[in-house]
């Protein structure tokens, strides 16, 4: 009698029913799982069978929801109606990336989505409107080696920026790398789209400092800079994510200084904007960064800003110098003094509901325009505007040096979280409102709509490379580079 009052007695049949439903769901597609596994076992060399089973997650696997949701970084795409991948493959070695590409082509063929950190603003690394699809999730591929003597970092695509920062800091207090301000962002997606941080005025983008890469092409071959050739190497440095292949390893030049005071570099950037605005004076880079000159440099930065904008926000006591890694933490909203170890935290399963858009500004916004802007923001409430000043090194690198075209002539980038109609856009701030590709007979024309906004004149060269290396358009997503129409 006492036992029948126990609520768990009634839950057992329900639980059993749920499990049965789950296992027999048509989405689980056991035949796809079996044939994919079989293919991986045959095509990956060498590793044992049980190992392969450990890296492939079908929807019926109890760990599937966790594996899928850990790297969903936008709550908009974490709903029961979000289309889910039939399989998630989580390779720990590049050989598995190769065999996944080969098997995805030969088993059905089936569309692959590639996810590194999962921060894509539109979730296109793990969501697709074309069923079925699989996700190649690279979070297990996260090795980083730092060679201070050679100023070199080799990093796998699944590493996060935070761990990259930490590893560099752990090896040297005087080196850094220009990446981004979000520690949980993945290296794979970040570097695929350009990658800026507070050092861009001095060192340019992440892609400007990438000196080699290893990718798996559409035929499952591993290519490096030499074997992939000049055009493809150019295309992968900012031409988007899974357009031409799965990138799993990059060599990057680290940047060195007697100190790496990013806090000050942020001021350099502000000063560069001031320079562009007054069309003349430039706050000089490239001096030594000894502590004794810092306060003087801060004063000069403030003066440069103050002459053209306003010194109200840059008062003496509000300027402080940080090391590079301290500035990274500060920009990630941690208080000064936070331990660098904090950057290692991948912060799994944490996400916000968000929508971002971007735009580039070539002419100064007049005071009256700014006033309208502020008033509108106050009226709308929860909106955000981030201005990233350009200038400096960004203005020196030609717009066709990499696919990322927004160089000289751009005063700053705006990132905003309200609906807007952009004149041009930053690829890393993926925005499907600009246009998506259905990959039918109008694919090229559809691609032009968003492609010209992201890449300006570099779009045509990207189409040419894409057509050469992946003529069947196997690697594709909603905003990937289209191939040229067949004649």
Ligand X SMILES: Cc1cc2nc3c(=O)[nH]c(=O)nc-3n(C[C@H](O)[C@H](O)[C@H](O)COP(=O)(O)OP(=O)(O)OC[C@H]3O[C@@H](n4cnc5c(N)ncnc54)[C@H](O)[C@@H]3O)c2cc1C
Footprint on this chain of ligand X (rule: CB under 6 A): 73, 113-121, 124-125, 138, 157, 180-182, 185-186, 188-190, 192-197, 241-242, 246-248, 428, 477
In angstroms, the Cα distances linking 355 to 69, 123, 470 are 19, 11, 31
Alpha-carbon span 197 to 178, nearest angstrom: 6
Alpha-carbon span 276 to 412, nearest angstrom: 10
Q: Closest Cα to residue 483, out of 455, 430, 442, 453?
A: 442
Q: Is the dihedral of CA 473, 478, 479, 485 positive or negative?
A: positive
Question: Which listed residue (429, 444, 450, 454) is catalytic?
Answer: 429
Structural contact between residues 229 and 166, judged by C-beta atoms closer than 8 angstroms:
no
Using only C-alpha atoms, the chain has a radius of gyration, in whole angstroms, of 24
Cβ distance to ligand X smaller for residue 305 or 332:
332
Count of all residues that appear for the chain in the document: 487
Largest interatomic CA distance in the chain: 89
Peptide bond between residue 46 and the one before it cis (omega within 30 degrees of 0): yes
Alpha-carbon span 114 to 157, nearest angstrom: 10
Cβ distance to ligand X smaller for residue 17 or 354:
354
Peptide bond between residue 109 and the one before it cis (omega within 30 degrees of 0): yes
Structural contact between residues 243 and 483, judged by C-beta atoms closer than 8 angstroms:
no
Residue with tokens 């798996």: 216
Catalytic status, residue 429: yes
216 DSSP β-pair partners: 222, 246
Which residues make Cβ contacts (< 8 Å) with residue 126, sequence separation at least 6?
Answer: 68, 71, 72, 77, 85, 113, 115, 118, 120, 135, 137
Q: How deeply is 290 buried, as exposed, middle or buried, from its count of CB atoms within 10 A (0-12, 13-18, 19+)?
A: exposed
Q: Closest Cα to residue 247, out of 229, 231, 235, 255?
A: 235
Q: Return the active site residues.
A: 429
């Amino acid at each position: 009698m006492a036992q029948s009052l126990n609520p768990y007695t009634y839950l057992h049949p329900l639980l059993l029913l749920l499990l049965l439903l789950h296992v027999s769901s048509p989405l689980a597609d056991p035949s796809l799982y079996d044939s994919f596994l079989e293919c991986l076992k045959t095509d990956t060399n060498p590793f044992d069978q049980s190992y392969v089973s450990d890296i492939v997650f079908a929807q019926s696997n109890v760990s599937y929801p966790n594996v899928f949701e850990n790297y969903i970084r936008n709550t908009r795409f974490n709903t029961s109606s979000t289309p889910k991948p039939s399989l998630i493959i989580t390779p720990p070695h590049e050989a598995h990336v190769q065999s996944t590409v080969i098997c995805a082509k030969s088993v059905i063929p089936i569309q692959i989505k590639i996810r590194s950190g999962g921060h894509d603003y539109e979730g296109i690394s793990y969501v697709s409107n074309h069923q079925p699809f699989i996700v190649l999730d690279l979070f297990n591929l996260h090795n980083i080696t730092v060679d201070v003597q050679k100023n070199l970092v080799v990093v796998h695509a699944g590493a996060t920026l935070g761990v990259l920062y930490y590893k560099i800091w752990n090896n040297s207090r005087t080196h850094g790398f220009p990446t981004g301000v979000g520690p949980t962002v993945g290296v794979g997606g970040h570097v695929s789209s350009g990658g800026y941080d507070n050092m861009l005025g001095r060192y340019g983008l992440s892609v400007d400092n990438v000196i080699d890469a290893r990718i798996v092409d559409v035929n499952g071959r591993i290519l490096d800079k030499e074997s992939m050739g000049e055009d493809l190497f150019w295309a992968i440095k900012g031409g988007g994510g899974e357009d031409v292949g799965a990138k799993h390893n990059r060599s990057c030049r680290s940047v060195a200084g007697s100190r790496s005071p990013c806090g000050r570099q942020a001021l350099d950037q502000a000063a560069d904007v001031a320079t562009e605005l007054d069309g003349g004076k430039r706050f000089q880079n490239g001096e030594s960064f000894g502590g004794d000159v810092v306060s003087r440099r801060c004063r000069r930065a403030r003066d440069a800003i103050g002459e053209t904008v306003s010194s109200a926000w840059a008062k003496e006591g509000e300027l402080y110098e940080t090391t590079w890694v301290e500035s990274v933490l500060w920009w990630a909203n941690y208080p000064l003094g936070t331990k660098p170890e904090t950057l290692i935290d991948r912060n799994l399963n944490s996400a916000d509901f968000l929508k971002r858009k971007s735009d580039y500004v070539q002419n100064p916004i007049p005071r009256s325009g700014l006033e309208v802007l502020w008033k509108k923001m106050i009226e709308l409430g929860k909106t955000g505007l981030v201005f990233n000043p350009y200038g400096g090194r960004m203005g020196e690198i030609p717009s066709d040096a990499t696919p990322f075209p927004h160089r000289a002539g751009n005063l700053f980038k705006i990132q905003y979280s309200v609906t807007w109609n952009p004149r041009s856009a930053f690829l890393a701030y993926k925005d499907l409102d600009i246009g998506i590709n259905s990959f039918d007979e109008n694919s090229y024309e559809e691609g032009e709509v968003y492609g010209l906004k992201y890449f300006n004149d570099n779009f045509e060269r990207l189409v040419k490379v894409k057509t050469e290396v992946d003529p069947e358009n196997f690697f594709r997503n909603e905003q990937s580079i289209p191939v040229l129409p067949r004649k």
